[in-house]
Amino acid sequence: MSVQVRTPLAERLGLSTPIIQAPMAGVTTPALAAASANAGALGFLGVGAMTAQAARKAIADTRALTQRPFGVNVFCHRPAVANAAVQAAWLSYLAPVFREFGAEPPATIGEIYTSFVQDDAMLQVFLDERPAVVSFHFGLPDESRIRALRDAGIFLMGCATSVDEALRIQQAGIDAVVAQGYEAGGHRGVFDPRARDERLGTLALTRLLVRRLEVPVVAAGGIMDGAGIAAALALGAQAAQLGTAFVSCPESAADTAFRAALADPKAVTAMTDAISGRRARGLYNRLMRLGEAHDSPAVPDYPIAYDAGKALNAAAKARGNSDFAAQWAGQGAGLSRALPAGELVAALSAELEQSLHGLRGLAG
Ligand SMILES: Cc1cc2nc3c(=O)[nH]c(=O)nc-3n(C[C@H](O)[C@H](O)[C@H](O)COP(=O)(O)O)c2cc1C
């Protein structure tokens, strides 16, 4: 028996299934967002690492492939604090590894992309293009930016890793909160990377936020199939946001090495700040090991460290080695399957219905 699973948030966003394909900078593409949207989920573009001009093009390219609503996501981190001594020490620590691949570390590293909190050109793109949804990671922009986006009729979402962050998001007038558990792939959305991290898992965080907030909650982290989505809905979430599950879709920008690593059922993930300068979960690799070593110096601020990480990855990749890549993935990585996005959304929806049906069966 097929049941349509509806939630107020899914209805509000015009979705036929309460599934959100997570924004993933460097991985999401217009083709991925459009295919997810065309299948009835909310497609998303991660434009946090793009210029305003590139984001405008990505939005236009997505619109050419779908009539359905989709979201756009930006980073709201505190702009980087440069520290020449820390950066020089980090580059000199990595230098022998660059040399293994016949390269030298860059002479200097810097802030490779602009935070939305100071990116007026990106704000203008959103006000001109009016995507259905804009979501924020690493905190929130100021009140005037939030008001401008709301006045433009854009639905806003913010990412929380704690009750405190969630209450601040609700207080700022944001329409929905993403509860990002410690299991999640990619960067932790923590507002202040220097603050103590409670490391709440998706299950506890989602339930805490559902109980404490008035606005709808979206669960994110470690959800890979319909059973996971059913669990999120049982906790009171109004949608589930899946990132890792969509990385292996042919429409994503993931490279061959990332796809191969995800296809390994023994894939292991870890949390590190050595790749970008902020804590993020990805497939365990040698750059993470370097960051964990007892003689590792302090890692430069985000995203300055990312400049070094990307240069090291490029040097290694040129020699056929992908052991320094930022292959962000959540704890459910071993459950990945390589399906086209439309088929994946259809499979997730069918599994969700089966799971709900099965749970009803348990009730006798
Ligand atoms: C490869 C990758 C890149 C990501 N990039 C972003 C991003 O640009 N913006 C963002 O808000 N979240 C980003 N995330 C986090 C996702 O929004 C989401 O919280 C996470 O994927 C959920 O956990 P899961 O991967 O276990 O499904 C990324 C996640 C992955 C796996």
pLDDT in tens, 200-243: 999 999 999 999 999 999 999 999 999 999 999 999 999 999 99
Whole-number Å distance, alpha carbon 2 to ligand 1 midpoint, is 30
Give CA–CA dist 181/169, Å, rounded.
16
Indicate the average pLDDT of the chain.
96
Atom of ligand 1 nearest to the CA of 189: 11
What burial class does residue 2 get, using C-beta atoms within 10 Å of its C-beta: 0-12 exposed, 13-18 middle, 19+ buried?
Answer: exposed
pTM score, two decimals?
A: 0.97
Ligand 1 probe mutation, 21, 24, 50, most atoms within 8 A of CB: 24
Whole-number Å distance, alpha carbon 75 to ligand 1 midpoint, is 12
Write the residue with the smallest CA distance to atom 14 of ligand 1: 186
Atom of ligand 1 nearest to the CA of 329: 31
For 1, the token pair is: 């028996």
Q: Classify residue 117 by its DSSP letter.
A: G
Write the residue with the smallest CA distance to atom 18 of ligand 1: 243
Given a cut of 80, whether residue 106 has pLDDT beyond it is yes
Give CA–CA dist 297/283, Å, rounded.
22
Whole-number Å distance, alpha carbon 96 to ligand 1 midpoint, is 31
Write the residue with the smallest CA distance to atom 5 of ligand 1: 24
Bond into 303 cis (ω within 30): yes
Parallel, antiparallel or unpaired: strands 19-21 and 133-137:
unpaired
pLDDT classification of 2: cutoffs 50, 70, 90: low
Atom of ligand 1 nearest to the CA of 185: 25
Ligand 1 probe mutation, 249, 328, 331, most atoms within 8 A of CB: 328
Q: Which residues contact 328 (CB under 8 A, 6 or more apart)?
A: 24, 27, 185, 186, 187, 243, 244, 280, 281, 282
Whole-number Å distance, alpha carbon 99 to ligand 1 midpoint, is 32
**Pocket around ligand 1 at a 6 A CB cut-off:** 22-25, 27, 46, 48, 73, 137, 159, 180, 183-186, 220-223, 241-245, 247, 328-330, 332
Q: How distant, in Å, are the alpha carbons of 23, 56, 253 from that of 66?
A: 17, 16, 19
pLDDT in tens, 68-100: 999 999 999 999 999 999 999 999 999 999 999
Closest CA to 258 of 324, 197, 305: 324
pLDDT in tens, 127-162: 999 999 999 999 999 999 999 999 999 999 999 999
Given a cut of 50, whether residue 1 has pLDDT beyond it is no
Write the residue with the smallest CA distance to atom 6 of ligand 1: 24
Give CA–CA dist 264/282, Å, rounded.
14
What is the per-residue pLDDT for 295? 95
Write the residue with the smallest CA distance to atom 3 of ligand 1: 24
